[in-house]
Amino acid sequence: MNPRGLNDGCYRGETIVIEDVLDDCLTAAQAHGWTINWLETENNIRLLALHRAPASAHRKIYLSSGIHGDEPAAPLAMCRLITENVWPEDTALWISPCLNPTGFPANTRENAAGDDLNRDYKHLNTPEIRAHTQWLQTLPDMDFTIQLHEDWEAKGFYFYELKMGDQPTEPRRVLEAVKTVCPIDESTEIDGRKNDRGLIVPELDPRLRELWPEAFWLVMNKTQLSYTCEAPSDFQMQVRTEALVRAVRSLLD
C-alpha cells in the first residue's frame, strides 16, 4: 500500500462521473426506504439530500461528501455506505452525498463558478451553500456530524475532531480501524496544524475566522462535535474509499 506518485501540485488520479454516482446513491436510497429530497439552488442545480429515521432511533447524525470536486473517493465512499445499507438501528441519519456537483466534471476543488464551497459557510455567497444551509436549518440538533474529504498531499489518512463541549470521545478508535486498510499520515504537522498520529484537534474559535468550512457552520448551529475525514488521494481508489468507509463505520459504532 504505497502512494502512486501521480499527484503533482493537485489531484491527478482517476475521476468519476458524478451523475452516475448520484444515480447509484438514489437507486440504493429508494430501495432501502430513505426519504429523498432535492434541494433546488437559485442557479438550477439540484443537491440530493437523504434521510432515514428508524422508530428506535435516539441518536441523530449528519454526514456529507462531495463538496470538493477533485476528491472523488468521498462520494464513492458515501455511495457504498448507502448501497450496503448497514447502519446502527438506534440512529437517525441525514446525508448530503454531493454538495458540489459542478466541480466533479472539471476535477476542480471549486464549483464551476470558481468558488470553494467549503469556505462559504459564513458569508453564504454561493447558491449551493445558501440552499444547503437553508435545508440544514430545518434539521434538529445532531449528536455529531461527519464530513468526507480527500487530501492530494496527504501521506495517509488523517482526520479532524472539532469539539465545542467537553464530552469524552474516542477518536483513536477510528485510526485503529482505518489503519488496517490504509496508512495513517504520521506527519507532525498538516496544513500548519499539529497532527497527533492522524488526529488533528484544531484549537480555534470559528467566531474569529473569516471563511467558514461546513464543519464550522455545523458546530455553530447544529452540533457540539464534528469529524472531518481526509483520505490520501495519491493512493489506489479502493484504498481511499475503504479508509473513508471504515472511518464512518467506526464513528457510528
Give the list of residues 6+ apart from residue 81 with CB closer than 8 angstroms, or none: 245, 248, 249
Closer of 100 and 223 to Zn ion (Cβ): 100
Distance of closest approach, residue 116 Cβ to Zn ion, in angstroms: 9
Distance of closest approach, residue 147 Cβ to Zn ion, in angstroms: 8
Closer of 29 and 99 to Zn ion (Cβ): 99
Closer of 52 and 149 to Zn ion (Cβ): 149
DSSP string, 70-124: T-THHHHHHHHHHHHT---TTEEEEEES-S-TTTTTTT-SS-TTS--GGG-TTT-
Distance of closest approach, residue 71 Cβ to Zn ion, in angstroms: 5
Chain residue at closest Cβ approach to Zn ion: 149
Give the list of residues 6+ apart from residue 227 with CB closer than 8 angstroms, or none: 144, 145, 146, 147, 159, 160, 161, 162, 171, 174, 247, 251
Residues at the interface with Zn ion (CB under 5 A): 68, 71, 149
Distance of closest approach, residue 229 Cβ to Zn ion, in angstroms: 10
Closer of 60 and 68 to Zn ion (Cβ): 68
Q: Kind and range of the H or E element at 227?
A: strand 225-232
Closer of 34 and 158 to Zn ion (Cβ): 158
Distance of closest approach, residue 89 Cβ to Zn ion, in angstroms: 31
